[in-house]
Structure formats: C-alpha cells, structure tokens
Structure 1
C-alpha cells in the first residue's frame, strides 16, 4: 500500500521552464507567501530541474541570449540570483547577448538557475522536492487534489489545495496517416534531437531524396535548416505542407516594410508592443532561413530546394503526393498532463473540464497547454496558437496565471465548485 503525504497548499507537477517561470512570477508579484502557506510540493520526472526537454534539441533558440539573461539580471530577483554561478553557459550568453544561442546552452543555464532558486526559496518557505518522481494521476478529492506518483520505486499519494500541472507536450498523429505520406516517419522532436551525423545516416540508410514536412512552425523551418546542413540541392528536395505560410517577426512595422514583408496593419500587429507577428513570427536563424526560402527557394544556393504547398488539410494533401521517402511531423503539441478531461486552451490558465467549466484550483499553461492571447498578455489578433516561451512564463504568462490564482482565492466556495 502506498504512502500518503500531508496536505500542501500548492503542487507543481513538472518543473521545467513553465513552473520555474511560475515560481519567479509569484516571487516578483509578492504572492509566494500565499502559494507556500502550507508548503509547496514539486514533482519532476527527471533528475534535472528547470529545462524540460530543451537540452535535447540540436538547434538555436527563437530568442536572443539577452532575453534569457533577463531572468538573472532582473533587479527584482536580486535576492535570489545575486550569487548565481552560471558556468560556461552564462559566460557565453553574456559574451554574445545579441546571438540566438543553442538550446543546449539555454537548458544548462535554466537547470543551474532552477537549483539556485529552489535552494534559496527553501530557506524561507516549506518546499518539498520529489526528484525523479512520475505523477500518474491527479484527481479532485473534496476541496483538494489527490496526486498519485511513483518515487524511489514506491507508489505514494500527496494532497494539495492547488495544482499547477506543466509536464511538457508531445507531438502525435495517427501512424496510418504518416505511413500514407512516406515509409519513414519521424516527429520534428525526434529529428531535431539527433546530431548531424545521425541525421545524415538516416538519409543515407533509407536512400531519402524527397522529404515531406507537415506543418509550418518554427520546428518545420528548423528541420529544413538541419536538412540543409547535411544535404545539397542535388540529393534532396523538401516540400512543406501547411495550412498557411510561416510568418516572420519584426520589431516594428518600418522594419517589415524595409524588407518588403507584407502584413495586415491590424491583424498582425500586437497592440501592446507594436511588433509584427509577435507570437507567430519566426525569429533570428529560422527567420533568416524562411526569408531566404521565400526569396530564392532554398536556405542557401547549395541547399535542397524547398517548396510550400498550402491547403486546409496538409495530411491529406501530402498523402496524395507520391515518391516521398521521409515524413517529418512538425505540427503542434498536446499536453502531457496526467489530469484527464482537459477541454483545451484558454486565456487564463484555468483547466476546464469536458463541459468547459473551470476545475477549481487546477492550472496548466506550459507546452501543449499554453494560453491563448488576451488583452492582458498581448499578441497579434491573427495568432491562433498558444503562448509558450521562457520569457513569457516569467513575465506576461506568469502574470496571467498568478492573477487567475489570486482571483480564485476570493471566489465563494459554492461559486467555485458550481454548486
């Protein structure tokens, strides 16, 4: 029979960038005393904290080094980070603030930061860390949540009044759909997690000459960049099947106009920042690659030719094409939360049940569950995706979640539970 642990005020299920950002947001907004009133329990499946799967990706970030440095240099976090030792990763980011760093460096920085933040906060608040603990079930039990988890070979249960579940996301599609497109199929997660030698070996082993990429996301263009590093225009051709062409990010309307980039002056402009395609737009390396593809048909003169085919159903369109040997799935993510019955994304991070009603005390906003844009978080009206990113978790998204949590403390129980 499993062990039962005490009742916590808050449980953080998963401790990657999203829940790390939540802790920092709560600290910045002076809400940690509320969240940690009767203790915080942190459950992380891996031995490492703070970075999730970022360290597995062999690509550059969609943000500059300076953006990641903000969470260390922000004076509001001085008491937490004043003596932070960031190793080689921090040295590189400081030396090259205007460069998009490798995600492996970002992961190393976030892992070190997470250890520092938890250690420092534990000096003042009750924090229980369950490292290498897999949460298998979260269910509502009276006024709190029952959390079942495996830890050190034992099955245990903890209780918590509030749960923030951010366990990452996964890409999925029916295997039969992928097999209709090409005999070899991988997700962009898988393809971008292997190094150049292994990627090259994959192409040679299966004699791949034609590649289908499903989706027009950052991962899709990153996959094109990887293919362009290991193949040339004489050996491989790439077709991207997507619902719409990838969008590009620009700091200002003037910058977009200087590049001859067409955009909607209302739908594609963030009303808070004035930026073009603030959330949907590709940045830095992927921006330059996409811009080159739009103009010349490839990332570079020697790179494989890239063709876009836009349709309402990229899977069907791709399956109707012939002679493709490799399919790379670069669509969105689904939440890996152990809480079942999610109804989809929203603007406030409150998890909804099947009927669309908020589950009192349960929040999710990380990869696969990210928020929709709102007046509070900003973003261009044309953006229909989810808000994800290290800076957003610590700032705009974190603010939205903490505000929702604070509001929920003042809702009468009969309203909160729908009675």
Structure 2
C-alpha cells in the first residue's frame, strides 16, 4: 500500500452515494444549495465503480411506498431540465404506470440509477465538485473543528481534510445484535446456532433460496423469522413462496412488540376491524394510523393474513406467531421453544450502520451511541459518542442510522424507532443536514475572515506602534 503524504482539503465530504447520499445530492441540486457546497469544495466518495444506488435495486421485494412517492423525488420545477431525458425512459414510465401501487424495489432501482446518473452528469460540471468512485473510506479522525478522512483508491492511501462529513455507507445485520436483543428478553438460541441475515436472503431469487435451503428442507428443519417489520413479512412471503412446493409447510414468526398495521385514517382502520389506540397510534399531523411503524401495501396484506388466518399470504404455509416481550408468559414460552427447535433463524430486526474506524486526534477511539433503530443523533444527524459528546460536523441519516421523529413532521407517539426511507432521504432528512453543513461552513469562513483582520491589525501595530488601535471594530 502506497501512502500519499499529499493531502486534500475541501468543505464537505459526502461518504456513500447510495440512496441516502444521492437523496442529499438531489435535494442540494433542487434547492440550489449545490452551488454553496461546490464553492467551498465537495468530494463524493463511494466504494462502487458505479455509484448512485447502493443495493436498493437488488432486493426481491415490493417497496413499502407507492410509485408516486418515488416520482415525487424527481418532481420539481428546478429539476425539470435535469430529468427531461427520463421522459424517454422505460424505467420511468414503468413506475409512473404504478403510481398508486407499490412497485418492486428492483424496478425502483432502475429508475433511481438513471436519475442518479443524470444528477452526476449535471453537478460534476460545477467547479469544486468531485466524484471519487472505487474509493473506500478506511478511517475518520476528528481533529478539532473538522475531520480527516483517510481513503484508499487503487492501492494508494491519502487524507482529505474537511469541515463537514456526511457518512452514509449503508447498513449491515450483526448476528450478535440479535443474540443480545433476545437475551434482553430472556431468550437464547441453542449452540451451535444458525442465524441468517434477511438482508442477504431478501436479495435471492426463489431458485436461489431453494438451492440454499435444500439440505435443511430435506432434513425436515424448522424455520423461524425474528422481527415484526416490513422486512420480516417480506421475508415470510419470499420463503413461503419459494419453498412451499419443496417441503416447507410451516414457519414461525417471533416479534417483540405487537404487529402494527398502517391505515390512511382512523376511519379506514375501523372499517377494517383493526383495533388501535386513538391517541398513541395516530399521527397528530396526518391523522394516519401507525404512520411510521405500521406495515404497508404488500407487507400489510401478508400481515393481515398472518394475523387473521394464520397463513403466509395466499400460500399454504402455516404461520405460527409468538410475541416475545414477556407480557404473556405462554407466548414467551412458545417463542423460547420455537427458537430451541429451529434449524434456521432469520434475522429481521433492523440494521446497524456500516462505519469505518473512528478516533479523536489524540488517538482515543470514537464509539457512537446507539438507540432503538439506529444512532443517537440530533435533528441534523450529528451523533454523539458513548460519553455524550456531540460530534458536530459529522452527519449520518441513512440505513442503520436514521433520524429521530420530528414532532413538526408528525409520527404516532407509540413509535420509538428511527426514521429513514428514500423519500425522507430526498426531503426532510437531507434538508436539515444541508442547512447544518452550510451554516457551519459560513461560520468557518467568518472566523477565517476575522482572523485575517486580526493578523493585518497586528502587522500594522508593528509598523506603526504609536497609533491607537483600540477604537477599531473587529466584530
């Protein structure tokens, strides 16, 4: 590895050009903030040779939003010229024809990668914007008021000094995270245990799933899915559809808290016979039931079948279900027995942020504080370490990080997780991050200008020692 001692300086580094990072770039271009970022220097760093999407398009599931939600990310008068070529795109018209339906994520991915390429084509013309693809962030050092970002590219290592760092490198599922969560509920897996990541399985075709689990099915192994979110019910359906004709007749779902369903209004929920808390489960801004934590669209349909009939969607695979929070001893005992008997345990309990090694300038390691569903961050995505120190200028809001619920935007009071999603990345989440970055860069410029004034004053004092300088206003 060749380490270049020549270092680069810029105002902001955007680490990761997946759904969250691209959401920020789309928003900066739409609002005109891209020019402020470009003037101060913006370097986009992504490990992929073809940045712009991340792994979103790899998932073999439906989205938890209708097509129009993704089209809204492109719908802006300021972006009309940039996205004009999409009028001739089959991917665009495919999503537009599903405007009120939930499309496959693979189809959403096709649209967003085309749109991302158009955004790159536009912003890379601006002086001050650079894209470093096939480049990996290997270390981040907090050095006073800024950050030193070490990166590797083609066997070379160099550092970027920046005032602000946006770090959305994706999420991963750590098996230990599941074991710790189960232990907190008084549950455990027998050793040796087999934990499978839903993130990996949800990107596999039915044929690949059948091949992957062939030996387990032949041995009569039992399957258990742990989780209660969109991904858990998508996983139930994918497994049931792929394996019901090759031996799978039952799957168990273990969820910590009650399964929540999304409805556009309290009236719609009541018409469907759904019981909910009229205060804690209803968003006071939108009036939607379980706006943030409820199952939507295809996952909602599968969830209702599991709750009402005890089958996975329209398949013949039975669904056993146990709530593991301990509120019901019988349910808790059933969960414990199911885990003990399982040959396959599929982890659908959220993501942890992918992070490079981080440290302070004195060498002390930085460990970011976690909360339910992500990182403990302020409204602009600035996290804090385990001691409570807020890392201003560092922003994370993507998968595994998320942002806390904003009362002004609304959410049901019962939701205790973090907010993230493609629409949020393109709107509210990235908006506050962009505003925070620009404000920090403006403060740094003001301090630098004041420092220059003080330096000039000191020079004049040396040249003209008898002059009274105390009346000068250096604010």
- TM (norm. structure 1) is 0.91
Residue 373 in 1 paired to residue 405 in 2? yes
How many residues align? The count is: 414
Distance in 2, matches of 1:172 and 1:316, equals 25
Tell me how far apart the structure 2 counterparts of residues 311 and 104 of structure 1 sit (CA, whole Å). 33
What are the equivalent positions in structure 2 for 1:110-125 lying under 5 Å apart?
Answer: 110-125=112-127
Task: Report how far residue 356 of structure 1 moved.
Answer: 1.8
For 1:380-391, what aligned pairs fall within 5 Å after superposition? Answer: 380-391=412-423
Question: Residues 123 and 410 (structure 1 numbering): CA distance in 2 closer, same or farther, change over 3 Å?
Answer: closer
Any unmatched runs of 5+ in structure 2?
A: 180-187, 359-365, 370-374, 446-475
Is 114-123 or 80-89 further displaced after alignment? 80-89
**1:61-112 alpha-carbon deviations (Å, 9 max, x no partner):** 1111111111223223224323346743212112222221111121222222
CA distance in 1, matches of 2:86, 2:125: 16
State which of 309, 326, 342 in structure 1 corresponds to 2:344.
326
Residue 409 and residue 46 in structure 1: after superposition, are their counterparts in 2 closer, same or farther (change >3 A)? Answer: closer
User: Which shows bigger deviation, 297-306 or 211-220?
Assistant: 297-306
The residue that corresponds to 1:353 in the other structure is 385
Question: Which range moves more in the overlay, 140-149 or 178-187?
Answer: 178-187
CA change 1:341–1:377 in 2 (3 A) is: farther
CA apart distance, 1:400 = 2.9
Superposition CA RMSD, Å: 2.7
Q: How far has the Cα of 1:406 moved from its partner?
A: 4.8
Larger-gyration structure (1/2): 2
Residues 294 and 215 of structure 1, relative CA distance in 2, 3 Å threshold = same
Query: What is the CA–CA distance in structure 2 between the aligned matches of 1:354 and 1:300, rounded to whole Å?
Result: 43
Q: Distance in 1 between matches of 2:118 and 2:170?
A: 22
On the 8 A contact 1:365/1:371 being kept in 2, the answer is: yes
Query: 1:186 and 2:199 equivalent?
Result: no
Counterparts in 2 of 1:23 and 1:180: CA distance versus 1, 3 Å: same
Taking the aligned partners of 1:196 and 1:242, their CA distance within structure 2 comes to 24
Give 1:358 deviation, angstroms: 1.8
Task: Give the 3 Å change call, closer, same or farther, for CA 315–33 of structure 1 in structure 2.
Answer: farther
CA 1:294–1:39 in structure 2 vs 1: closer, same or farther (change >3 Å)? same
Paired residue for 2:102?
100
Alignment equivalent of 2:47, drawn from 37, 42, 45: 45
Cα distance in 2 between the residues matched to 1:341 and 1:300: 42
Contact 2:178/2:347 (<8 A) preserved = no
User: Is 1:202 matched with 2:208?
Assistant: no
Instruction: Assess if the C-alpha contact under 8 Å between 2:17 and 2:51 holds in 1.
Output: yes
Q: Does 1:64 align with 2:66?
A: yes
Name the structure 1 match of 2:367. 341
- C-alpha deviation, 1:354, in angstroms: 2.3
Equivalent-residue separation in structure 2 for 1:315 and 1:388 (angstroms):
30
Matched, 1:139 2:141: yes
How far apart in 2 are the matches of 1:75 and 1:377? Answer: 23
* Counterparts in 2 of 1:360 and 1:51: CA distance versus 1, 3 Å: same
Kindly indicate whether residue 172 of structure 2 is the aligned counterpart of residue 154 of structure 1: no
Kindly tell me: are residues 315 and 161 of structure 1, through their superposed partners in 2, closer, same or farther at Cα, counting changes over 3 Å?
Answer: farther
Q: Is the 8 A contact 1:2 1:157 kept in 2?
A: no
CA contact (8 A) 1:182 1:325 kept: no
Whether the 8 Å contact between 1:71 and 1:77 is mirrored in structure 2 is no
Cα drift, residue 394 of structure 1: 1.0
Structure 1 position 337, deviation (Å): 2.2
1:89 corresponds to 2:91? yes
1:369 aligned counterpart, secondary structure: coil
How far the C-alpha of 1:347 sits from its partner, in A, is 4.2
Q: For residue 276 of structure 1, report the CA deviation from its aligned partner.
A: 1.3
- Do residues 12 (structure 1) and 14 (structure 2) align? yes
Matched, 1:221 2:233: yes
Query: How far did residue 409 of structure 1 move?
Result: 5.3
- What are the superposed Cα offsets for residues 266-325 of structure 1, whole Å, 9 maximum, x if unpaired? 211222222111111111110111011111111345421112211237999745433222
Cα deviation, 1:373-408, whole Å, max 9, x if unaligned, reads: 022342211111111111111112222323443554
Matched, 1:253 2:285: no
- Quick check: 1:242–1:309 contact (8 Å CA) kept in 2? yes
Cα shift at 1:175: 9.3
1:77 aligns with 2:73: no
